[in-house]
Amino acid sequence: MERGAGKLPPRPMIRAFFVEFVFPLLLFLFLRSVVRNLIQGYRGRVQPQPQPFARQAPKVPAGGELKKDPVCGTYVSTAASVTRTVGGQVMYFCSEECRDKYKVA
């Protein structure tokens, strides 16, 4: 009968090992992953701006400003026109033909 009692001691030790070491470790890892997910989710929400080319092309959206083609006199939308910077000033043309003509003139 005392043999069985002699085999018992290891169990409480294992339990203590789990309670005092493994469980806190798992809790720590779990909380760390939760915090990381929260931070990543927060970042993903803060910077959802996939517009790296928006700064490069400061054009007015379709139906924006109307500019007069200096070659043929047609009014063209700044969003749909052919642009060319002449002397630091942006010129708007209805087509590449007009743009090239202005270049010559």
Binding of residue 94 to Zn ion (CB under 5 A): yes
Q: Could you tell me the end-to-end alpha-carbon distance of the chain, in angstroms, rounded to an integer?
A: 114
Minimal distance, residue 70 CB to Zn ion, in Å: 8
Alpha-carbon distances, residue 93 vs 16, 24, 53 (angstroms) = 81, 70, 23
Q: How far is the CB of 89 from Zn ion (least distance, A)?
A: 17
Which range touches Zn ion (CB under 5 A), out of 3-11, 23-31, 64-72, 81-89? 64-72
Taking CB under 5 A as the binding criterion, the range among 10-18, 21-29, 36-44, 90-98 that sits at the site for Zn ion is: 90-98
Q: Which is nearer to Zn ion, 74 or 77 (CB)?
A: 74
82 belongs to the binding site for Zn ion (CB under 5 A): no
Candidate list 59, 68, 70, 72; residue touching Zn ion; CB under 5 A: 72
Per-residue H/E/C for 12-68: HHHHHHHHHHHHHHHHHHHHHHHHHHHHHHHHHHHCCCCCCCCCCCCCCCCCCCEEE
Rounded to whole angstroms, the Cα distance separating 47 from 50 reads: 8
Q: Which residues bind Zn ion (CB under 5 A)?
A: 69, 71-72, 74, 94, 98
